[in-house]
Amino acid sequence: MRFMLEMTINHSGRECYSQRDRSMASPKIPDMFLKALKRKQSTVTSAVSIDTKMASTEKRPKKEEEPENVKPEKNESESLREAESAVPVVTEETTTDLYSLVRDAEWRNVLEAEFKKPYIANIEKELEKERKVGKTVYPPRDEIFAALNITPLSRVRVVLIGQDPYHNVDQAHGLCFSVKRGVKPPPSLKNIYKELATDMEGFKAPDHGFLESWAHQGILMLNAALTVRAHEANSHSKFGWYTLTDKIISIVSKETEGVVFLLWGGFAHKKESLVDRKKHTIVKTAHPSPLSARHFMGCKCFSQVNDHLKNYGKEPINWGDL
């Protein structure tokens, strides 16, 4: 309306009209609309930028979000190597190779052929079964042949035969009638000490039942069965151990001279047939168990052993050296 009015009143303003007309043909956008447009563009640009950053972030691991002091996850091979270094690998050989547990060179030599026989493999198989089902076996594996490893064949002067290892915790350590230090002496051993006190002048019972010094003096302290399941007496008696220990007794009889075999109780008495009495001496008594102690007391077997050793020209046993 303003434009039409100016044309009517001021004809001379034609040029002004033309200029206004041109300016009106390209109208000026108000500032308020420009600011609104800029804000919209800025919002779109920011949104695109955020989307781009989020996509980039999703492709990269967020190290800044990892907890402190947490080591990077190991790959499978690294974890396996670490586990192997922390826990000893149990192989078939380390659990069943009995011959490897015989460390004395003399006994290894005379028993090598024996350990290749099938019954040894059966003993190993039975012990492996016990291990796999979680049964506790005494004595500890490395002490099964302690009697052989402590007393070489050439040093054997006396053979003391037991039937079965002690089957309670921390008792058996591979020597018959002996228990580890710190373990209360069992009833049979207490009776042994009582007889020693009356038989050997000056003997004083120790406060322990560890008889290893006897083995070092040449007493082969051999159980007929060399292992036992915890708390189950004679549980390994049918494994095949008797065949091996009979062989050991026979080797002593054959390969040595002037040895005294000390046999306590009916079970040990049966081993008499394995001994050549032309070369050796046998001392037989009742067993020191409380069940037969009244027959054992007063037998004076310890002094008898020493008398026979002297007759063979050998040093007597110092029974009190404990």
| Count of alpha carbons within 13 angstroms of residue 131, beta-carbon side | 15
Residue-level pLDDT at 270: 97
Predicted confidence (pLDDT) at residue 27 exceeds the cutoff of 80: no
Rounded to two decimals, the pTM is 0.71
Residue 292 banded pLDDT, cuts 50, 70, 90: very high
Q: Are 251 and 226 in contact (CB under 8 A)?
A: no
Can you tell me the distance from the alpha carbon of 69 to that of 118, in angstroms, rounded to the nearest whole number? 57
Q: Are 314 and 212 in contact (CB under 8 A)?
A: no
Q: Which residue has the higher pLDDT, 116 or 86?
A: 116
> Pick from 283, 307, 309, 306: which is nearest to 296 by CA?
283
Rounded mean pLDDT of 30-48?
A: 49
Residue-level pLDDT at 32: 53
Q: Which domains does the chain have, with CATH numbers?
A: 89-311 (3.40.470.10)
- Percent of the chain residues past pLDDT 90, beyond the cut: 70
- Phi/psi at 69 (nearest 5 deg)? 65, 20
Residue-level pLDDT at 143: 98
* Neighbour-count burial of 70, counting CB atoms closer than 10 A to its CB (0-12 exposed, 13-18 middle, 19+ buried): exposed
pLDDT digits (tens, 9 = 90+) for 95-114: 569 999 999 999 999 999 99
Residue 73 banded pLDDT, cuts 50, 70, 90: very low
Q: Which residue has the higher pLDDT, 22 or 181?
A: 181
Rounded mean pLDDT of 37-64?
A: 44
Is 104 designated active site? no
Rounded mean pLDDT of 247-276?
A: 98
pLDDT digits (tens, 9 = 90+) for 141-160: 999 999 999 999 999 999 99
Residue 135 banded pLDDT, cuts 50, 70, 90: very high
- Alpha-carbon torsion angle 8, 13, 18, 19, nearest 10: -130
Q: Which residue has the higher pLDDT, 212 or 89?
A: 212
Q: Are 185 and 290 in contact (CB under 8 A)?
A: no
Can you tell me the distance from the alpha carbon of 255 to that of 137, in angstroms, rounded to the nearest whole number? 32
> Pick from 84, 158, 176: which is nearest to 317 by CA?
158
Active-site hit among 164, 170, 207, 276: 164
**71 pairs with which residues across the strands?**
none
